[in-house]
Structure 1
């Protein structure tokens, strides 16, 4: 019994000693409190739980590595289904800025500060010194300034999302060094200049969303080297030059949005016998005929070629496509008879209006 009592005492002593080890280190707690001090959240009180010595337990949006007990993840979403939001019957609104104090969390793996609408200031330059970062998501704020030039140092990064902010400057060339990156979303910012020529080095990328910026220059041919790329959205920019033929030869590309640019030249034949199912080339300066290259492999949920300078007849091979859901050929210089049969029998006149001399159902008879 004495031995058992001694062992019990030792276990209790070890538990008491280790409880301090299991909590987050004071340096991590101080970094979080400095990060919090730069933000103002007036309605939900999400930071009310950030009290006590142990930031690893019950601090809203904070989680720690179970082995090191260092802060690993900060997840603060302004649009959330958490009870704290449901009780308030509102989405979050937060002002302030993202403090460089987060860079004093050396084991940080993900930082998600999304959809708070009022957070401004710049992206802390020091985030590129955090070697374990896998996810950086600042979507839906008012962040300005430029993307850190050495963003390519974050070799473990898989998600980079700066969409719906006011970020300006160019896309850093070093971005192409992020060889683990799977999801890139820079939509709806003020980015200008070219897409880096070596963009195709992002071999793990499955989504590249760059629409709604001021990007200029050509579409780099290297994009077609990204074997896993499924969604490419470069719409609403100022891109010019030709559409690379190689885009139509990509293995898994299913969505290609290039609308609202300044692209010219012919439409690559390869796009119509590819795996692309959602193709939007509208509002460019594309010329020549619509390629007579449709066939059983052509499957389009949406195909939009409107507002270009296309001429000639609608190719009869369109009828041999396995499926075309939505088709828009309006606002071009097309001429001749609209083919019969599918998909033309379910399309409305709006798909064909404002051409030079198209005729036949659903327009006026020839």
Structure 2
């Protein structure tokens, strides 16, 4: 964490001056001992035994020997209190959550702290104080030099009285998103501050933050990550004289513009660490920034920077970390990053550089400091050209070049980077062979991502890699046709992606001897065949397993249901009986076994899957009744049972309050459309009951579904008139309502105690312009109502013309009569309108000529008469005249 170095240094100082040699004696002052015991009473130990050394027992009388307590050797007063579970802090920084599993203590900041009046060091970080603010009495600790309340979930306004802590050198209140400060003037009075961390604090109203920072003469480390900082203005710049002491500055995850640059440049060459990740910086990298030669860490990632990556980056010879990813840089890889090194490599030790006719900037370099670069990130830009030879970067540990436009082959010299731990070159246009030579010295490699390229892994079957990988991503690379045997040597990986890899083999039994810490397995889109044996593995988390689009067959093994997300779609599985063995505490959230050969009754055991969010069983041969236990899936968002042989009535789904998409199309269901669909399922966006045997009228209760964007009741036995209340479908009525850019849902799967969210884009088959088509990521754009091929009668209600967001309206092949509503032209987003094969009469409304996007119109087989409205678009249609009388 950001405060770890000053924290350790200061604490070691306390230990040096606060402890003494000689015989052990009880030095604890009784009033302070009682105060400490009351502090313990106000804290609940989540991890039992954390404060086991604190107590009233005779052997525990000396509080100076208690865990986290340090007393002065001179006065015996308590001068330091550290209750932070420091051994877990680094992990907690990554897993920023309120989950108590990552904490040892929770409770209140005890008022008894007041009795420890001689404190110079107080660390209560990573203790759960949710619902409590920072008590103002902390400002009375006049001797305090170190205060750390980070990761404690304290809330409210930061007490301005903290300004009384005039001796404070380190103040860390970071990572408390419920804290706020409207004015940071109080910080100015902390004139001894060297380290200040207010990360995640709401500072949106602190317009004077920059002026205050510049008044702290000894400040060397400033952390203002994700603080909602107001932008720097030119007027504020004119009123400040910057301190030259600042060496570490983190302003990441704010919305700062390029107006911050002049202020940064005022620090001259003092900055060593600069983090501007995820702001709104635009334009090229300023030249002045490239003159800050002391920089060792520079992060400009996730901004709007553009242009070519400047050659002047070669001036930053002290860099160990360079992140320019997720911008709009283009052009070739800047040769300046290694060009100077290469020249010196050629001549050093062989010639006297001063006697050579070389550029002055090369002769003046004392050494090739680029060898110290440890992390380089140019990912998610438009860098093109051939893959650079980075072999001279002998200290390189992390290389991110993913999602660019690099082409050609990867040089074998990359295998000489013996310190490399993280290699991600995915999402480029690289090709050629990757051989064992590319990993010859990669013994420290833990993350390998080559996905999204066209490379061929030319590796012998008996290869024994020098590394043990944690993450393996080889998607779209040619790995097959044999299953890669070298994976058997990898015992600890948590992620594996060998999708689209040309494997046409069976999965060997040894493969399923997976690490218990695995969280993602993707073997999809290959030609993998055979059966999948059961495994005795016990996952620590709840991984994602994707075996879709292969040729696997037989029974689905029970161990797979221990995962958090499962995709077995588009295989040849024929048995689902293992699902009966799944325990009632299953945490499965996603299950897709569509497009298989599963048949017979669907098992009635869905009450065991309380966490299911997405269930897709479409395109199988299930028959019989849809089991009632489906209705116990109270968290379900997507239910797709389409294209099976289900019969009888739809079971009650009243308890599925979060259901957004229901598809039971192409089955043999019958009975009336349940009224509870409109009464209880208010979140519905998609209803597809197409091609069943539903009968009766369309219930008016469906009009209550204000989020509905797609209603398909076509090809049933529905009768009666169209509901006049259809204009209550707000999502189809609101002008400019964008709805969902993609109709998708999030599902979760766990890994080692954390939670991973992943999106699922819904897919649906619709009869579109007479053709059965599958829609995926464009489904949200197809806002439609299809009631065709039923026995509906009566007139088309005028109210339907208020649904101005409709793109597709199909009322064909019914018994509708009367005239087409004159206002039909108000549906100006219509792409397709089909009213054919009804008993409509009268003329074609002239308003249709005003629908600009209409490119499919079918009014055939009605009793229409009169003139076709004058419109270039309408007159270009081939009008079918069957049972119609038109003139032009």
TM-score by length of 1: 0.75
| Secondary structure of 2:684 counterpart | coil
Cα distance in 1 between the residues matched to 2:849 and 2:617: 45
1:257 has 2:257 as partner = no
Aligned runs of 1:137-152 on 2, under 5 Å? 137-152=616-631
Residues 272 and 298 of structure 1 are in contact (CA less than 8 Å); yes or no, is this contact kept in structure 2?
no
Cα distance in 1 between the residues matched to 2:624 and 2:546: 26
Aligned length: 298
Residues 662 and 687 of structure 2 are in contact (CA less than 8 Å); yes or no, is this contact kept in structure 1?
yes
Greater relative contact order (Cα < 8 A, sep 6+): 1
Residues 605 and 629 of structure 2 are in contact (CA less than 8 Å); yes or no, is this contact kept in structure 1?
no
1:276 has 2:806 as partner = yes
Matched with 1:311 is: 841
Give the direction of change, closer, same or farther, for the CA distance of 1:202–1:257 in structure 2 (3 Å limit): same
Give the direction of change, closer, same or farther, for the CA distance of 1:323–1:72 in structure 2 (3 Å limit): closer
Cα distance in 2 between the residues matched to 1:98 and 1:307: 46
Give the direction of change, closer, same or farther, for the CA distance of 1:216–1:97 in structure 2 (3 Å limit): same
Give per-residue Cα distances to partners, 1:82-119, cap 9 Å, x unaligned: xxxxxxxxxx2232344442542522322221111x21
Matched with 1:89 is: none
Residues 306 and 331 of structure 1 are in contact (CA less than 8 Å); yes or no, is this contact kept in structure 2?
yes
Matched with 2:590 is: 110
Cα distance in 2 between the residues matched to 1:177 and 1:343: 48
Residues 267 and 287 of structure 1 are in contact (CA less than 8 Å); yes or no, is this contact kept in structure 2?
yes
Cα distance in 2 between the residues matched to 1:297 and 1:71: 46
| Secondary structure of 1:270 counterpart | helix
Cα distance in 2 between the residues matched to 1:74 and 1:179: 23
How far does residue 74 in structure 1 lie from its aligned partner after superposition?
Answer: 2.8
Give per-residue Cα distances to partners, 1:275-325, cap 9 Å, x unaligned: 212000000010111111134553210000000010111122222334422
How far does residue 145 in structure 1 lie from its aligned partner after superposition?
Answer: 1.1
1:357 has 2:882 as partner = no
Give the direction of change, closer, same or farther, for the CA distance of 1:336–1:151 in structure 2 (3 Å limit): same
1:229 has 2:708 as partner = yes
Cα distance in 2 between the residues matched to 1:59 and 1:202: 29
Cα distance in 2 between the residues matched to 1:330 and 1:354: 6
Cα distance in 2 between the residues matched to 1:348 and 1:272: 24
Matched with 2:829 is: 299
Match of 2:654 among 155, 169, 176: 176
Matched with 2:566 is: 74
Where do 5+ consecutive residues of structure 1 fail to align?
1-21, 25-41, 63-68, 79-91, 361-366
Residues 295 and 322 of structure 1 are in contact (CA less than 8 Å); yes or no, is this contact kept in structure 2?
no
1:339 has 2:339 as partner = no
Residues 157 and 181 of structure 1 are in contact (CA less than 8 Å); yes or no, is this contact kept in structure 2?
yes
Give the direction of change, closer, same or farther, for the CA distance of 1:59–1:248 in structure 2 (3 Å limit): closer
Matched with 1:330 is: 860
Matched with 1:6 is: none
1:101 has 2:586 as partner = no
Cα distance in 1 between the residues matched to 2:528 and 2:826: 56
| Secondary structure of 2:621 counterpart | coil
TM-score by length of 2: 0.32
Matched with 1:32 is: none
Cα distance in 2 between the residues matched to 1:113 and 1:70: 15
Matched with 1:186 is: 664
How far does residue 359 in structure 1 lie from its aligned partner after superposition?
Answer: 2.5
Give the direction of change, closer, same or farther, for the CA distance of 1:209–1:224 in structure 2 (3 Å limit): same
Residues 97 and 121 of structure 1 are in contact (CA less than 8 Å); yes or no, is this contact kept in structure 2?
no
Residues 47 and 60 of structure 1 are in contact (CA less than 8 Å); yes or no, is this contact kept in structure 2?
no
How far does residue 128 in structure 1 lie from its aligned partner after superposition?
Answer: 2.7
Residues 539 and 562 of structure 2 are in contact (CA less than 8 Å); yes or no, is this contact kept in structure 1?
no
Q: Which shifted more, 300-309 or 225-234?
A: 225-234
Residues 868 and 875 of structure 2 are in contact (CA less than 8 Å); yes or no, is this contact kept in structure 1?
no
Give the direction of change, closer, same or farther, for the CA distance of 1:314–1:278 in structure 2 (3 Å limit): same
Give per-residue Cα distances to partners, 1:236-260, cap 9 Å, x unaligned: 1111111112223422232001111
Residues 583 and 608 of structure 2 are in contact (CA less than 8 Å); yes or no, is this contact kept in structure 1?
no
Cα distance in 1 between the residues matched to 2:818 and 2:637: 40
Matched with 1:202 is: 681
- RMSD of aligned Cα (Å): 2.6
Cα distance in 2 between the residues matched to 1:214 and 1:325: 32
Give the direction of change, closer, same or farther, for the CA distance of 1:98–1:144 in structure 2 (3 Å limit): farther
How far does residue 151 in structure 1 lie from its aligned partner after superposition?
Answer: 2.9
Matched with 2:600 is: 121
4+ runs deviating over 6 angstroms: 56-59
1:243 has 2:734 as partner = no
Matched with 2:537 is: 53
Give per-residue Cα distances to partners, 1:314-348, cap 9 Å, x unaligned: 12222233442211000011111211114312211
Cα distance in 2 between the residues matched to 1:294 and 1:302: 12
Residues 826 and 847 of structure 2 are in contact (CA less than 8 Å); yes or no, is this contact kept in structure 1?
no
